């Protein structure tokens, strides 16, 4: 599951299902762990998900976390 993978990798962020049937979110943490999560999102995903494509945008380096913990937004 997404939240388990985020927690296991020590990342912070949020995720939200959209009305269009897609998922949006934000992840923060060490670059190598973010890269691991991106691979997981592109290839594995949540058990009930179907991955057609994964698009990552607005990537940037930050000096400290802006989000602490993980949440699901509605």
Q: Which residue has the tokens 């962020």?
A: 13
Query: Can you give the pLDDT at residue 43?
Result: 92
The SS3 of residue 44 is: coil
Q: Is the pLDDT of residue 1 over 90?
A: no
**Cα gap 73→60, rounded to integer Å:** 22
Question: pLDDT per residue over 19-60, tens digit each?
Answer: 999 999 999 999 999 999 999 999 998 888 899 999 999 999
| Fold type of domain 2-50+67-72 | Alpha-Beta Plaits (3.30.70)
pTM: 0.85
For the chain, domain boundaries: 2-50+67-72
């Amino acid at each position: 599951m997404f939240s388990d993978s985020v927690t296991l990798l020590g990342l912070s962020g949020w995720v939200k299902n959209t009305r269009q049937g897609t998922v949006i979110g934000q992840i923060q943490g060490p670059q190598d762990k973010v890269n691991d999560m991106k691979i997981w999102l592109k290839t594995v995903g949540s058990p009930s998900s179907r991955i057609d494509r994964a698009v990552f945008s607005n990537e940037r380096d930050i000096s400290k976390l802006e989000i602490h913990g993980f949440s699901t937004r509605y």
